[in-house]
């Protein structure tokens, strides 16, 4: 899922590693920055 947040930044919610890698391959040259977030281990 890809959407814009309240401040206009593009947010990518990849379902799995394959989807994330696909996005990176297509967009790595165009993205100025990437913030990577993942749930803590305790969250299940």
pLDDT at position 18, please? 94
Higher pLDDT, 41 or 44: 41
pLDDT at position 37, please? 77
Structure tokens at 23: 């996005």
Listed in sequence order, the residues at least 6 apart from 40 whose beta carbon sits closer than 8 Å to its beta carbon are none
pLDDT band at 6 (very low <50, low <70, confident <90, very high): very high
Please report, for the chain, the start and end positions of each structural domain, with discontinuous segments joined by +: 2-43
Please state the φ and ψ torsions of residue 5, each to the nearest 5 degrees.
Answer: -85, -175
pLDDT at position 27, please? 87
pLDDT at position 42, please? 85
CB 38 within 8 A of CB 44: no
pLDDT band at 43 (very low <50, low <70, confident <90, very high): confident
């Amino acid at each position: 899922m890809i959407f814009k947040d309240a401040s206009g930044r593009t947010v990518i919610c990849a379902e799995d590693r394959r989807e994330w890698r696909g996005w990176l391959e297509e967009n790595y040259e165009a993205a100025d920055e990437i913030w990577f977030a993942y749930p803590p281990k305790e969250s299940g």
